[in-house]
Amino acid sequence: MKWNMDMKIQGAFMKCIVLCGCLIGFTCLATRSVMAGEHKVTLMFGGKFCEAYLGDVETALKKYHGVKGIDFKSMKGHAIVTVEDGTVKTGQLIDTVNGVKGEGWHCTAQVMR
pTM here is: 0.67
pLDDT at 113: 81
Q: Which of 34, 82, 33, 36 is nearest to 58 (CA)?
A: 82
pLDDT at 100: 95
CA distance 90 to 26: 32
pLDDT at 30: 45
Domain that holds residue 66: 36-111
Residues 76 and 27 in one domain: no
Most confident of 14-28, 34-48, 70-84: 70-84
Residues 29 and 43 in one domain: no
Residues 5 and 43 in one domain: no
* pLDDT one-digit tens code per residue, 12-33: 656 655 554 544 554 444 444 4
Looking from the CA of 10 toward its CB, the CA atoms found within 13 Å total 6
Domain count, the chain: 2
